[in-house]
Amino acid sequence: MGRDLGNVFPACSLTVIYKGETVLDAAWGEVEGNPTQVDTRFDLASVTKLFTATAFLSLVSAGNVRLDDPLVSVIPEFGAESPRRIEGGQDPHSKERLATPAHLEGQTVDPALVTFRHLLTHTSGLPAWRDVYTTAGSAPTPPDRPDPISRGERWARAVKALCGYPFTGKPGKNVSYSDVGLMLLGEALARLHGASLDEAILARVLRPLGLNNVLFNPVREGGIPRENIAPTEDDPTWRKRRAWGEVHDENACGVGGVAGHAGLFAPARSVALLGRAWLYEPHVFGIDPELAALAKQEQSETDGARRGLGFALKAHVGASAGDYFSPNTYGHTGFTGTSLWIDPDKELIVACLTNSVYPGRWHGGTLEFRRDLHDLLAQELEAS
């Protein structure tokens, strides 16, 4: 691809499924002296959202909940403070509070207007990010040591905060990517399923796929050796260590490692199998054909950001899936350098997992690599 990828990420695992057959399942690189294997687990970051959305949509098909039900019907405390003001939110990188846009000054939102459809399409008006982890307790201990604050206690503190944040926009107006929204969707999923979020995803997504190598908290609760996990970014300020075997995302880590927006670890092949099921057999999740089709179609679009139900859809310009995947392509990316893209027209599924935040989160090159990779695969496979 003509790029020095050693400066973009030290480890990569790639699984490609074409017309139903696995044509590539490989791994490259090494980190901390550990060669990358095809079964190396990577921090999926926001690709976790696809597992959360899949489990939730299975509940919709089962009749447990409807897309246009209000969030307060499952999490009533979300509506306890009403109306809530609109503010500018918080920058996820600088952590600074942002100014309220002039046209939204003084406006409020009734939280009872937020529906599950809004959460799945990122049109809830909820903030993109808030420092939830600061409300959940002190930084967790390293993952090979017991955490003095239980996961349940951390999450209970987080839910209280999530139910009170000001909005940053009006529900149903614009696509505005929101981790806060997916954290709340994860809580609703857990309550509807009647168990914890990780148990809901296990029962509704992982077991139907026969996957036992996708999990939250791989070291602390899964007993996976760190050597089988790709490390991510050094965190000198909050955790004061490199994130290795614990989720990179501060909010997911701070609430106990299990959240609707981030936290899962998996090898590339397992992520590709999620994509294969969505392409060929979403009924394995108990999702009916009409709802499955709706999930993969455009439900909302703002400034080129296109959303299905839980899925990101390929952008018309500058897509991370490159220029040769079809406009009907759907999937998701993750901040740690992960992605899953599914092209239904070409019957092409690409799960590419890297740890591009290992050298630091702002060194660049990940988008360019993704575009080059997907262009190369689409062209080579169609020419073969």
Asked if the model's pLDDT at residue 1 lies above 80, the reply is no
Residue-range domains of the chain with CATH = 5-383 (3.40.710.10)
Confidence of residue 93 (pLDDT cuts 50, 70, 90): confident
Asked if the model's pLDDT at residue 384 lies above 90, the reply is no
Residue 301: what pLDDT? 97
Region 312-333: what's the mean pLDDT? 98
Residue 362: what pLDDT? 81
Region 71-82: what's the mean pLDDT? 98
Asked if the model's pLDDT at residue 288 lies above 90, the reply is yes
User: What percent of the chain clears pLDDT 70, i.e. is strictly above it?
Assistant: 99
For residues 216 and 265, is the Cβ–Cβ distance under 8 A? Answer: yes
User: What percent of the chain clears pLDDT 90, i.e. is strictly above it?
Assistant: 96
**pLDDT tens digit string along 272-284?**
999 999 999 999 9
For residues 346 and 327, is the Cβ–Cβ distance under 8 A? Answer: no
Confidence of residue 4 (pLDDT cuts 50, 70, 90): low
Of the two residues 383 and 203, the one the predictor is more confident about is 203
Region 180-184: what's the mean pLDDT? 98
Joined tokens for residue 141: 């201990």
**pLDDT tens digit string along 248-260?**
999 999 999 999 9
The whole-chain average pLDDT of the chain stands at 97
**pLDDT tens digit string along 40-68?**
999 999 999 999 999 999 999 999 999 99
**pLDDT tens digit string along 139-165?**
999 999 999 999 999 999 999 999 999
Region 102-108: what's the mean pLDDT? 96
Asked if the model's pLDDT at residue 377 lies above 70, the reply is yes
Residue 359: what pLDDT? 94
Asked if the model's pLDDT at residue 2 lies above 70, the reply is no
Residue 3: what pLDDT? 56
Cα–Cα distance for residue pair 253/247, rounded to 1 Å: 6
Asked if the model's pLDDT at residue 304 lies above 90, the reply is yes
Cα–Cα distance for residue pair 92/104, rounded to 1 Å: 21
The β-bridge partners of 23 are none
**pLDDT tens digit string along 360-376?**
988 889 999 999 999 99
Joined tokens for residue 31: 């980190």
* Residues composing the chain: 384
